[in-house]
Amino acid sequence: MDAFQTLDISVGGMTCASCVGRVERALRAVPGVQAASVNLATESARVTAGPGDDVDALLRRAVRVAGYEPREAAEADAAASASAWQGFAPVAIGIALSLPLLAPMLLAPFGIDFMLPPWLQFVLATPVQFFLGARFYRAGWHAMKARAGNMDLLVALGTSAAFGLSLWLWWRSVAGDHADGMAPHLYFEASAVVITLVLLGKWLEARAKRQATSAIRALQQLRPELAHLVGPRGAESDVPVRELMKGDRLAVRPGDRVPADARVLEGESEVDESMLTGEPLPVAKGPGALLTGGAVNGAGRLVVEVRATGAESVLARIIRLVEDAQAAKAPIQRLVDRVAAVFVPVVLVIALATLVGWLLAGVGVETALVHAVAVLVIACPCALGLATPVAVMAGTGVAAKNGILIRDASALELAHRVDTVAFDKTGTLTAGRPGLRALIPLQAQDDAMLLGAAASLQSGSEHPLARAVVTAAMARGLLLQSAPDLQSLPGRGVRGQVDGQPWAIASPRWCEELGVALPTAELERLQTQGDTVSALLRFDAAGIAGAQALLAFSDEPKPGAAEAVAALCARGLRVVMISGDNRRAAEAMARRVGIPEEDVRADVLPADKAAQVAALKAGGHVVAMVGDGTNDAPALAAADVGIAMANGTDVAMEAAGITLMRGDLALVADAFDLSARTVAKIRQNLFWAFAYNVAGIPLAAFGLLSPVVAGAAMAASSVSVMANALLLRTWARKI
């Protein structure tokens, strides 16, 4: 069966939540589309569809037929930049033409009473209405053809009504229909000022959107254009970074950005990785150290070997994760989508009811129409559409700058509700670099021979305990042998042949299953002091195993682990340790980091970690799982919020909703705090977006708001929502 594909399309011309619904419906109607999600703040659509060569073209055509403009990413960036910085010209023209129309109203409180001639009002208002306001007519017409409504339609109808009413009143005055001979009050200023205010609001929105997406642009700018390629004879030549290949040797000069993920071959320096990890202090790097593309080299010259380029690089993956999160819809957005689907039709009905109601009250066509126009103008589905996505964009952006990558909006929305945090032990709470503290022979045998056999079994494994055994053997200069027929049993150990003899390294659990007796007193002594203990077994001709030695491994808590656990407990959270280690060793480590013994889950096989998480979720608890290894992936996926350490495996990162870019466990509490702040901003934005309409529409319907004030309030609603979300950028870690 062919896999589904995910496609991203930039969409131009969207102005409000109603536009989002229209584009989504158009995309979902394309054959083969499984899901479509449109983000107003990023002006993009993400579509999951079946395979096919024409899918992208069909999606773009559907967007165009719906009345919007499908764009390439580069086009969208250029349009956003122009909209944010160069798009002020129409606003400036609108202000210049509207201010004279507004002057009589502004000067009236100071006793200055005058009125511009009707012909001059017409001359000033007409360019604003039909030149600057043409975008509202075009978008409104497309909405009507699609039998839908949007903000543009409301603005076009409202301002056209005000402009048309002014023409009618002017004609009546010219025809001499005013019995008192007084020149009538015209409403050209209402139509012109409303369009100008809406354009001003859209310009301010565009600027705010660029600020909200600054994290993505900052990450993209970390990619240098050129790399210094070192030839076979040591000569350097500049080549474009996009032409680099794995295995290339590069020179990284002082002050240069590292062009690609690489390993240091020569030289020593300090490297600034703060933009990637949030770590403020430079990190010392020497031969064998790994470098991440985008980091800044310090004072030393380095020669490096390229390990990953392009989409495989860490920087590319970080950018992809942040983009995914900003393109995703938070679950709370579903409420907004339901409201937006009926918003414009309801507003049109209210405006019509306002017109009819005032006519029945006997106030005359002029007053009734003005009140109906105010209803059309103040309604703002734009603020509803921006309320959630702009907060998500700002929250994920500030998180990325602080070393927290949020993979999806659901994790961001849910994290603040976590009441239980489960930690993996090795590599998460501990440094993950255990050392072989002791090898204790159980029979009269040479410990060098036993260590050599153990290291030969472990030489092909990347497990931290395996590396500790190999490191100890190499430190003693032992020669390792090949170990054919290796068999790894997760959570139990490994077995194979060394020099034709069957051997195994087994956990106490596996020894018990095999019926192998271990010295109880010695085992308990080692475990009580916090050591992880394995046994070296040898099998006889009958396949019966006998214990030859005990291997005792010690690991240290990760720096700051105890403080991180204390910070979580101070937030009222329950902290649990889930470990495959024996209970005594696990409890000893738990005591060192401040986790109560009753919250230790020990002797847990990798396959059973997800079941432990499920048990913690019982009773409605919201559980976060923090882990780093491949065997943690099922538990990370089973948790309400999975949090992976970036120094762990790719599998763990893919299964988690949040990734911590450095090993600082304090980032766990920071992620929860950012989640709480972001969700608070979403709720505040939705409150104000609804409040503007719930309060403003009745006020306009009852004649308490003029169209000009309604236009200002409508523009202010969108701008205030954007500004409130951008306050998230002031978030700082609690020291």
**φ, ψ for residue 659 (rounded to 5)?**
-125, 130
Tabulate helix, strand, coil % of the chain (nearest 5).
Answer: 55, 20, 30
Q: Give the separation between CA 67 and CA 143, rounded to whole angstroms.
A: 7
In order of 260, 266, 427, the CA distances from 263 in angstroms are: 10, 9, 22
In order of 189, 279, 566, 663, the CA distances from 666 in angstroms are: 57, 12, 10, 9
Tokens matching residue 490: 């997760």
Question: Nearest to residue 366, comparing CAs of 170, 121, 175?
Answer: 170
User: Which residues have CB under 8 Å from 14's CB, separation 6+?
Assistant: 20, 23, 38, 40, 43, 68, 385
Helix 707-726 and helix 666-701: axis angle, to 10°?
180
Burial 244-272 (b: 16+ CB within 10 A, else e): beeebbbbbeeebbbbbbbebeebebebb
Helix 666-701 and helix 561-570: axis angle, to 10°?
30
Q: Give the separation between CA 463 and CA 46, rounded to whole angstroms.
A: 38
> Mapping DSSP to helix (H, G, I), strand (E, B) and coil, where does residue 331 land?
coil
Residue bearing tokens 């009538």:
184
Q: Give the separation between CA 494 and CA 461, rounded to whole angstroms.
A: 10
Query: Is 2 known to be catalytic?
Result: no
Catalytic residue among 248, 256, 337, 424: 424
Q: Give the separation between CA 320 and CA 323, rounded to whole angstroms.
A: 5
Other CB atoms within a 10 A radius of the CB of residue 73 amount to 11
Tokens matching residue 590: 């738990």
Residue bearing tokens 């970074």:
241
Tokens matching residue 40: 């107003």
Other CB atoms within a 10 A radius of the CB of residue 500 amount to 7
Q: Give the separation between CA 156 and CA 225, rounded to whole angstroms.
A: 47
Q: Which residues are designated catalytic?
A: 424
